[in-house]
């Protein structure tokens, strides 16, 4: 396979995270549904989640932190991409309002690929870097609370709100770059996870679980093949945070270790497009990402959609403003 788009230098020079203040513990959920803290922790890995806020509000907070860390002047940002599946409005997209509040003066649009959204958006940013842009703000933000029925035992235990942002810059040295990537979608599985207008999510949890494990493995193999690398060459893995058992099952098949894996699910629940940048934010706060590391971002979600991106890291390695 040819290295499509590979060779375009990319580095992340600022990260930001935002979570609403209101914490819902597993224990709190027992007031609405027949469940227990023990069941949720054992079957999902989640202890608590956050609700409240708006998609644009959380995106602005995360975006501001990422800009502050990068030191990039808002007027230097040439494009804003907001990955979200819960925009404030059906129209317009969320990105223009976010751009306005952050003081940007550039094109701004949303990418809707549900929980794969941030990884999708990083590949979109890569395409614009290839066209000559040098500074792009990429945000994953969702308020899944708005489409979640917290009395439903399948979805109510999982979904929550949050946002994560990254300032993505061209890397003239080429040291930082996407080594391989893969995007996928299979509309045959629309019915296993969807939400109609003005309604809450419907999910076939078992089937989503099965498909997620499958596509995570397949997508990783495609990305590694493009990069000409193996599983052992991956230093840090940043999987979508849906259920720790999904990650463990996929890793068993792939041969990845949990030691190399960033997880925040325990505290955040499934924040959809925000989950990968929240994990990156946490990994940087814990000094887990070093220059030259091969960082694999791996998303899957409703659609079904999936995306994997292998980024050789040449961006920030310290991060003090983590959540």
Of 25, 105, 190, 206, the one binding ligand UT7 by CB under 6 A: 206
- Taking CB under 6 A as the criterion, the residue among 84, 223, 243, 268 binding ligand UT7 is 243
**Minimum distance from CB of 50 to ligand UT7 (Å)?**
16
**Which entry of 26, 161, 243, 270 is annotated as an active-site residue?**
270
Task: Using the structure block, give the residue that is written with the tokens 């929240």.
Answer: 278
191 is known as an active-site residue: no
* Number of continuous H segments (helices) and E segments (strands) in the chain: 9, 13
Contact (CB, 8 A) for 276 and 240:
yes
**Contact between 115 and ligand UT7 (CB under 6 A)?**
yes
> How far is Cα 266 from Cα 278, in angstroms, rounded to an integer?
12
- We find the least distance from the C-beta atom of residue 67 to ligand UT7, in angstroms, to be 28
Q: Which is nearer to ligand UT7, 50 or 312 (CB)?
A: 50
Which residue of 180, 205, 277, 315 would you call a contact of ligand UT7, by CB under 6 A?
Answer: 205
Of the two residues 206 and 290, which places its CB atom closer to ligand UT7 in the complex? Answer: 206
Of 20 and 239, nearer to ligand UT7 (C-beta) is 239
100 classed as catalytic: no
Per CB under 6 A, the segment of 1-9, 61-69, 207-215, 228-236 that binds ligand UT7 is 207-215
Dist CA 322 CA 305 (whole Å): 28
270 in catalytic set:
yes
Find the binder of ligand UT7 among 113, 129, 183, 208 (CB under 6 A): 208
End-to-end CA distance of the chain: 39
The candidate with the shortest Cα–Cα distance to 166, out of 68, 294, 263, is 68
At 12, give phi and psi (nearest 5°): -100, 120
> Residue number with the shortest CB distance to ligand UT7?
205
Q: What residues numbered 27-86 form the site for ligand UT7, per CB under 6 A?
A: 35, 39, 43-44
Peptide bond into 304 cis (omega under 30): yes
- CB 293: neighbour CB atoms within 10 A? 18
Q: Taking the CA atoms of 181, 11, 81 and 147 in sequence, report the sign of the dihedral they define.
A: positive
Residue 281 contacts residue 103 (beta carbons within 8 Å): no
How many Cβ atoms sit within 10 Å of the Cβ of residue 12?
26
The minimum distance between CB 115 and ligand UT7, in angstroms, equals: 4
Distance between CA atoms of 251 and 217, rounded to whole angstroms? 8
Q: Which is nearer to ligand UT7, 100 or 253 (CB)?
A: 253
The alpha-carbon radius of gyration of the chain (Å, integer) is: 18
- Given 77, 82, 108, 157, the residue binding ligand UT7 (CB under 6 A): 157
Closer to ligand UT7 at the Cβ: 104 or 298?
298
Tell me which residues are annotated as active site: 115, 240, 270
Interaction site with ligand UT7 (CB under 6 A)? 35, 39, 43-44, 115, 153-154, 157, 203, 205-206, 208-209, 212, 242-243, 246, 270, 301
């Amino acid at each position: 396979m040819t290295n499509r788009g590979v060779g375009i230098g990319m580095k992340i020079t600022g990260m930001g995270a935002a979570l609403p203040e209101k914490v819902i513990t597993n224990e709190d959920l027992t007031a609405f549904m027949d469940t227990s803290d023990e069941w949720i922790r054992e079957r999902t890995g989640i202890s608590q989640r956050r609700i409240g806020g708006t998609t644009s509000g959380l995106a602005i907070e995360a975006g501001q932190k990422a800009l502050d860390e990068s030191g990039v002047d808002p007027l230097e940002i040439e494009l804003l991409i907001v990955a979200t599946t819960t925009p404030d409005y059906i129209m317009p997209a969320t990105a223009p309002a976010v751009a306005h509040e952050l003081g940007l003066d550039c094109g701004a649009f949303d990418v809707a690929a549900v929980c794969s959204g941030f990884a999708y958006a990083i590949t979109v940013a890569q395409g614009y870097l290839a066209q000559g842009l040098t500074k792009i703000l990429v945000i994953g933000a969702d308020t899944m609370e708005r489409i979640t029925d917290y009395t439903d035992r399948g979805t109510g235990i999982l979904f929550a709100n949050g946002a994560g942002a990254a300032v993505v810059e061209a890397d003239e040295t080429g040291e930082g770059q996407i080594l391989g990537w893969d995007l996928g979608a299979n509309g045959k599985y629309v019915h296993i996870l969807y939400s109609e207008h003005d309604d809450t999510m419907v999910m076939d949890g078992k089937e989503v679980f099965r498909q997620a494990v499958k596509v995570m493995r397949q997508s990783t193999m495609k990305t590694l093949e493009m990069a000409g690398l193996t599983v052992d060459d991956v230093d840090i893995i940043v999987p979508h945070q849906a259920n720790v058992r999904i990650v463990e099952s996929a890793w068993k098949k792939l041969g990845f270790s949990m030691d190399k894996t960033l997880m925040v699910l325990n505290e955040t629940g499934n924040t959809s497009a925000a989950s990968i940048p929240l994990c990156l934010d946490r990994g940087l706060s814990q000094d887990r990402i070093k220059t030259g590391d091969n960082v694999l971002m791996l998303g899957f979600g409703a659609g079904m959609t999936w995306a994997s991106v292998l980024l050789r890291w040449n961006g920030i390695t310290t991060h003090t403003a983590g959540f």
